[in-house]
Amino acid sequence: MGLVEQFNEYRSKMNDQILASDSLIIKRIFNLDANAYQDGALDVKSKELIGLTCSLVLRCDDCVKYHLGKCKEVGLTSKEVNEAMGIATLIGGTIVIPHLRRAYEFWEELKNV
């Protein structure tokens, strides 16, 4: 199983389990999260770039993977995604580089999905 399938499957399985636990706060945060990236004053591309770069500077690999998947879905190009990740690396420093490696690897695999 590729990186992308593995990521999606685990994410989906655990999200189900978390939502089944009937934790009201968490349910509402998940709900907010689903709505926040919809078209609004900003378009979905700008929002996914925000989601991607914030995830990168906060060094959350799974969040980066999730937003890379969405970036591809909404039609962002490799050039745009790489430029955004370049800015994030500058803001967050060389400490971001190991996460950048995993991001590039995941973005490559997304092309084959």
Contact residues toward its own copies (CB under 8 A) are 10-11, 14-15, 17-18, 21, 23-26, 28-30, 32-33, 35-37, 40-42, 45-47, 49-51, 53-55, 57-63, 77-80, 82-98, 100-102, 104-105, 108
Q: Please state the closest distance from residue 71 (CB atom) to its own copies, in A.
A: 12
Least separation, in Å, of the C-beta of 90 and its own copies?
Answer: 5
What are the DSSP calls for 30-87, one per residue? HHHHHHHTSSSSS-HHHHHHHHHHHHHHTT-HHHHHHHHHHHHHTT--HHHHHHHHHH
Cβ pair 80, 44 in contact under 8 A:
no
Q: How far is the CB of 17 from its own copies (least distance, A)?
A: 5
